[in-house]
């Protein structure tokens, strides 16, 4: 009988400790997200956040936060809490659809961050960044007349229009793939003159 009571007490204690751990983990995660948001708001009180996403790009178990503001500026809040301005020409006008922040597989466990947005009349722009020494370095900037596609394997497909001499146009596709050995995106397929692989 005593053994049964002891087992019941042990089970209850384990349940309480498990619940406390789950609550603490959730609170810690929320605190980190709120921390990046509050750090940004303190540094740029006049800016309004339009999109905010977080991810661990370099697999160091620390998340970076990426922010696009309503004024069209793109910021990084790195894992050390520093706010870094990246660029200021993101088209954030809701009439053309909101910009996007996406994460692209590079190699192994490393990911890149991609920012895309529509620009009138019908172009899609995409800028792809790599995390280097706590900031973002641009590795690819492309424009697609039709659309830009991100594949699960990390390939980036740029669908664009090649206008014919007589009339109309033909859809062409340029493919960009990250090369770890060359440390840059390698292009193949049918390249548009307006695309730039860095």
What is the mean pLDDT for each group of 10 consecutive residues in the chain (198 residues)? Answer: 48 49 40 74 95 95 95 95 95 78 93 91 90 97 91 94 87 95 94 61
Residue 125 lies in a domain: yes
Structure tokens given for 188: 């193949």
Residue 27 lies in a domain: no
**In a domain? residue 66:** yes
Give the angle 56-138-196 at the CA atoms, nearest 5°.
135
In a domain, 107, yes or no: yes
Report the candidate in 158, 157, 163, 132 with the shortest Cα–Cα distance to residue 58. Answer: 132
Q: pLDDT value at position 108? A: 86
Which pLDDT value is given to residue 50? 94
Closest by CA to 194, choosing from 154, 149, 158, 150, is 158
98 assigned to some structural domain: yes
Q: Token pair for residue 47? A: 């800016």
Q: Is residue 31 part of a domain?
A: no
Into how many domains does the chain fold?
A: 1
Give the integer Cα–Cα distance in Å for 180 and 79: 24
Q: Is position 33 within any domain? A: no
Picking from 112, 92, 100, the residue whose alpha carbon sits closest to that of residue 156 is 112
List helix spans (H) across the chain: 2-43
pLDDT of amino acid 197: 52
Residue 120's pLDDT is what?
74
Contacts of 52 by beta carbon, 8 Å cutoff, 6+ apart: 36, 37, 65, 66, 67, 68
Q: Name the residue range of residue 164's domain.
A: 44-197
Residue 156 lies in a domain: yes
pLDDT confidence of residue 165: 85
Question: pTM for the whole thing?
Answer: 0.79
């Amino acid at each position: 009988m005593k053994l049964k009571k002891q087992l019941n007490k042990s089970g209850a204690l384990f349940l309480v400790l498990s619940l406390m751990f789950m609550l603490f983990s959730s609170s810690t995660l929320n605190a980190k997200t709120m921390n990046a948001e509050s750090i940004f708001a303190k540094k740029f009180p006049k800016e309004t956040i339009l999109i905010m996403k977080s991810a661990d790009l370099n697999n160091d178990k620390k998340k970076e936060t990426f922010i696009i503001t309503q004024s069209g500026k793109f910021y990084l809040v790195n894992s050390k809490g520093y706010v870094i301005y990246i660029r200021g020409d993101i088209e954030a006008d809701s009439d053309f659809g909101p910009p996007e922040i996406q994460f692209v597989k590079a190699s192994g466990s490393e990911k890149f961050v991609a920012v895309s947005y529509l620009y009138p009349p019908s172009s899609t722009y995409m800028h792809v960044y790599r995390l280097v020494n706590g900031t973002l370095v641009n590795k690819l900037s492309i424009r697609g007349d039709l659309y830009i596609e991100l594949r699960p394997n990390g390939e980036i497909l740029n669908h664009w229009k090649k206008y014919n001499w007589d009339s109309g146009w033909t859809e062409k596709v340029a493919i960009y793939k990250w090369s770890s050995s060359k440390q840059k995106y390698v292009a193949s397929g049918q390249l548009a003159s307006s695309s730039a692989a860095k």
